[in-house]
Each structure stands twice: as structure tokens, then as C-alpha cells.
Amino acid sequence: MTYKIAVLPGDGIGKEIVDQAVRVLTALKLDIALEEAPVGGAAYDQLGHPLPPSTLELAKNSNAILFGAVGDWKYDSLPREHRPEQAILGLRKNMGLFANLRPAILYPQLANASSLKPEVVSGLDILIVRELTGDIYFGTPRGVRTAEDGAFKGEQEGFDTMRYAETEVRRIARIAFEAARKRNGKLCSVDKANVLETSQFWRDIMIDVSKQYPDVALTHMYVDNAAMQLVRAPKEFDVIVTGNLFGDILSDEAAMLTGSIGMLPSASLNASNQGLYEPSHGSAPDIAGKNIANPLATILSAAMLLRYSLNESAAADKIEEAVRQVLAQGLRTADIYEEGTEKVSTSQMGDAVLKALS
Ligand SMILES: NC(=O)c1ccc[n+]([C@@H]2O[C@H](COP(=O)([O-])OP(=O)(O)OC[C@H]3O[C@@H](n4cnc5c(N)ncnc54)[C@H](O)[C@@H]3O)[C@@H](O)[C@H]2O)c1
Ligand SMILES: CC(C)[C@H](C(=O)O)[C@@H](O)C(=O)O
Ligand SMILES: [Mg+2]
């Protein structure tokens, strides 16, 4: 069976980094068909919408999606529904991609690129499981209105709604417990149950689901403390499970522990194992078009694509091994460069991964 992969490069550095991942996927000579479509600001410019119906259709009819990044400051004044970020949110929601896996692994060669002391981060291998289709990101009502009560009655106010249904919490809990079971058996659920009703509800469900996983040690942590513990002693964590908003923030923090956000891949999965694979970083408009972005997060996302949506774990292993090799050879894009290593461009990094694969 030929696997169909939708390739959505998007904006900013999106095209530069996705190009390299596509070269890598193509070099593996698997039975895959790649089809590209516009998304984000690029799609808005071409077709008047950040997630045109044709792009959504292609994504829905594919086994997997390889996604670059969307967004640029120049679209910030558009109405919200036309902003590039709506494309990724729309894909997640429309395809039910509720389970976001964001591993943060420190490659030994990058111990000095991390902003933390090598002894604090060396050997780091944690997994953040972020719920991706609920929470304050999608909760309604939301908007701007005239306040009807409180100290600021009569003033304009902005408001959003944080909410989680039981099904949403149960299904992400199961993903996280299963992941922890396959790793070191430790799951930390991050919430703000000391203040938020939604979080207390989340915590109660986590405890209930944990009864089916007696082999996994479940702990709970408030998000402010988790943010601190991630920089104090990140290796204490194994799997972290958290909601959409907290997961967004903590995964950027965890990414930096690994040296650069340019190293962190991600997978977003739905119930039928369709997946969207993207680097955890954004479109980096500040470095776009210069051929200096790190393509490794996207290349590693392609490896996750092969593993989770195409069941091609041998090919995924090959890509990950090739990445380890190029790092061992001392090749570094600017974001992970340090003295004594060799600075390479985006495409040169792609060349090196291809060479290591052959
Ligand atoms: N999933 C996505 O598409 C996604 C994710 C995050 C942000 N965004 C969007 O991207 C735009 C820029 O957001 P931001 O600046 O807050 O975050 P960002 O992740 O784009 O950039 C943050 C910093 O990290 C650097 N960086 C990011 N990726 C890199 C890479 N591969 N190699 C080297 N350096 C890299 C950037 O140069 C920048 O200094 C915004 O419009 C935002 O909404 C999109
Ligand atoms: C671009 C934005 C909508 C997105 C998010 O907040 O989920 C990004 O920050 C991410 O982490 O994928
Ligand atoms: Mg984010």
C-alpha cells in the first residue's frame, strides 16, 4: 500500500526546513506519495484563507502530515480567523489530533549548547504529552464584551473559557499512562488544581485512570512548580501529561534544555493513528530566508511520522541514527554552534543527514 503524506511547509523558515525533511524521506525509498499544499500566511496570500478547504481535504485524506510552521508578524493585524496560526489550530481540531507528543532529548554532543549546566541536563530524555484540542484554546464562550458585573462593570473586557470534558481528560490520560508504561513508569500530571476548577477535575480523572495502571507511578505538580523543577532537576521527570495551555509553555521550556528549540520534534495523533508531525518551534521570521535555521527538529519529526503513522520503525531508527552521526561529526547550525564545531547552513545539514543515511 502506498502511504500518502501531505506536505504543508507554511511560512517563514517552514519551506527551508521541510525541504530538508522531504529530501530525507525521499532518500529512504519507501512506498510513499508526497503531495504539497499551501497553509498559513502563504495560503492566505494565495487563496484568501490560512487553511483552505483543499488543504484540509488533502490532510484528512492522508496517512500523515508533515508540517513546517505558520505565522509572521505581518499578519498580526488580520482578524483572528484569518491569522496563520488558525491553520494549525484548525488542522488539530478538524482532525481530532488530541494527543501531542513532544519528546525532549539531549544529545550528548549538545550538552554545552543547553543553557543549563551539563551535569544537570546530560542524559535528559523526557516526554511531554500535551492535550491539544481542548482547554482555554478552544473553550467557549470567548470574546470581548461589556463587563456585566464585578469591580470593572461597564468596561470592555476580554474573556476566554478554560474547560475540559471527562472524555478529553480520560483519553489523554490513557495515552500518557501507556507511554510511561513503555518508558520508566513515571508519570507527572501538571495542573493548577490549587486555583482552577478545571484542574481539580483533571486531577481527579487522572487519579481514577491511574487505577488501571498500577505499574505506573503517578504524581501531581502545580504548573508554576513544574516550570521551576524543569530547570532545577529536569531528569527527575519521565513523562509529563498536561493540558493544552500549560503544555504549550512547558514544551518550549523543555526544548531549550536540549540546546535549541530547533532540535525538538513533535507528533500530534488522533484516535485513528493519523498524525501531524511538526517541529515544536514556530516560523522564526527573524531568520527566515537565510538558510541558517536548524532543520533537525523537522527531520526528527519525519522520523516520528514513520514510526507512529506508517509503522516503519526501522526507517525511523535510521534517521535518528543519521542525526546522531552528524552531531558526532561536529556539524552545527548557528543555534547550536559552539567553538570547536563546524558551522553549517540548513541545506548543508540536510546534505550531511542524507550522506549519513547512505
Ligand atoms: N506550530 C507552529 O506553526 C508555530 C509554533 C510556534 C510559533 N508559531 C508562530 O511563529 C511565529 C514566530 O513565533 P516566535 O518567535 O514566538 O517563536 P519561534 O519558535 O518561531 O522562534 C523563537 C526563537 O527561536 C528561534 N528558532 C525557532 N526555530 C528555529 C530553528 N529551527 N533553528 C534556529 N532557530 C530557531 C527563532 O529564530 C527565534 O529567535 C509567530 O507567528 C507564532 O505564532 C507557529
Ligand atoms: C502557533 C500556536 C498556535 C501553537 C500553539 O500555541 O499550540 C504553537 O505555539 C505550538 O506550540 O505548536
Ligand atoms: Mg508553542
Which ipTM did the prediction report? 0.95
**Cβ contact 281:268 at 8 Å:** no
Q: Does position 115 have pLDDT exceeding 90, yes or no?
A: no
3-state secondary structure the chain: CCEEEEEEEECCCHHHHHHHHHHHHHHCCCCEEEEECCCCHHHHHHHCCCCCHHHHHHHHCCCEEEEEECCCHHHCCCCHHHCCHHHHHHHHHHCCCCEEEEEEECCHHHCCCCCCCHHHHCCCEEEEEEECCCHHHCCCCCEEEECCCCCCCCCEEEECCCCCCHHHHHHHHHHHHHHHHHCCCEEEEEECCCCCHHHHHHHHHHHHHHCCCCCCEEEEEEHHHHHHHHHHCHHHCCEEEECHHHHHHHHHHHHHHCCCHHHCEEEEECCCCCEEEEECCCCCHHHCCCCCCCCHHHHHHHHHHHHHCCCCHHHHHHHHHHHHHHHHCCEECHHHCCCCCEECCHHHHHHHHHHHHC
Which domains does the chain possess? 1-98+270-358 (3.40.718.10), 102-260 (3.40.718.10)
Q: Which of 135, 238, 248, 335 is catalytic?
A: 248
At 262, the pLDDT band (50, 70, 90 cuts) reads very high
Mean per-residue pLDDT, 27-50: 97
Q: Which residues of 326-357 are buried (b: 16+ CB within 10 A; e: fewer)?
A: bbeeebbbbbbbeeebeebbbebbbbbbbebb
Grid cell of 323 as nine digits? 542525526
CA separation, residue 153 to residues 5, 71, 144, 287 (Å): 52, 35, 13, 44
Condensed to tens digits (0 to 9), the pLDDT of residues 57-68 reads 999 999 999 999
192 included as an active-site residue: yes
Mean per-residue pLDDT, 313-338: 96
Q: Is the dihedral of CA 19, 25, 29, 30 positive or negative?
A: negative
Q: Any idea which residue has 516560523 for its cell?
A: 283
Q: Which of 7-16, 95-104, 210-219, 252-261 has the lowest mean pLDDT?
A: 252-261
pTM of the model as a whole: 0.94
Tell me, what's the pLDDT at 353? 98
Q: Does position 259 have pLDDT exceeding 90, yes or no?
A: no
**Cβ contact 41:71 at 8 Å:** yes
Q: For residues 130 and 97, what is the distance between their CA atoms, to the nearest angstrom?
A: 11
Condensed to tens digits (0 to 9), the pLDDT of residues 196-209 reads 999 999 999 999 99
Condensed to tens digits (0 to 9), the pLDDT of residues 70-90 reads 999 999 999 999 999 999 999
Q: For residues 139 and 153, what is the distance between their CA atoms, to the nearest angstrom?
A: 23
Mean per-residue pLDDT, 160-180: 98
**125 labelled ligand-binding:** no
Q: Backbone phi, then psi, for 41, in 5-degree steps?
A: -60, -35
Distance from the alpha carbon of residue 243 to the mean position of ligand 1, in angstroms = 21
Q: For residues 357 and 351, what is the distance between their CA atoms, to the nearest angstrom?
A: 10
Q: Is the dihedral of CA 190, 249, 276, 198 positive or negative?
A: positive
**130 labelled ligand-binding:** yes
Q: Does position 1 have pLDDT exceeding 90, yes or no?
A: no
Q: Which of 192, 213, 238, 308 is catalytic?
A: 192
Q: Any idea which residue has 550528548 for its cell?
A: 108
Tell me, what's the pLDDT at 114? 87
Tell me, what's the pLDDT at 200? 98
Q: Which of 113-122, 144-153, 209-218, 349-358 has the lowest mean pLDDT?
A: 113-122
Q: Is 88 in the pocket of ligand 2 (CB under 6 A)?
A: yes
Residue nearest (by alpha carbon) to ligand 2 atom 5: 248
Q: For residues 67 and 85, what is the distance between their CA atoms, to the nearest angstrom?
A: 13
Q: Is 261 in the pocket of ligand 1 (CB under 6 A)?
A: yes
**Cβ contact 237:186 at 8 Å:** yes
Tell me, what's the pLDDT at 256? 86
Grid cell of 140 as nine digits? 467557549
Mean per-residue pLDDT, 211-231: 98
Tell me, what's the pLDDT at 281? 93
Q: For residues 301 and 299, what is the distance between their CA atoms, to the nearest angstrom?
A: 5
Tell me, what's the pLDDT at 171? 98
At 158, the pLDDT band (50, 70, 90 cuts) reads very high
Tell me, what's the pLDDT at 141? 97
| Mean pLDDT for all residues in the chain | 96
Tell me, what's the pLDDT at 278? 97
Number of the ligand closest to the Cα of 100: 2
Q: Does position 242 have pLDDT exceeding 90, yes or no?
A: yes
Residue 272 CB neighbour total at 10 angstroms: 10
Condensed to tens digits (0 to 9), the pLDDT of residues 341-358 reads 999 999 999 999 999 998
* Crossing angle of helices 14-27 and 296-308, rounded to 10°: 50
Tell me, what's the pLDDT at 151? 96
CA separation, residue 317 to residues 97, 99, 302, 353 (Å): 24, 22, 11, 13
Mutation probe of ligand 1 site: the residue of 67, 83, 283, 296 with most atoms within 8 A of C-beta:
283
Q: Does position 299 have pLDDT exceeding 90, yes or no?
A: yes
Tell me, what's the pLDDT at 285? 96
Q: For residues 87 and 37, what is the distance between their CA atoms, to the nearest angstrom?
A: 12
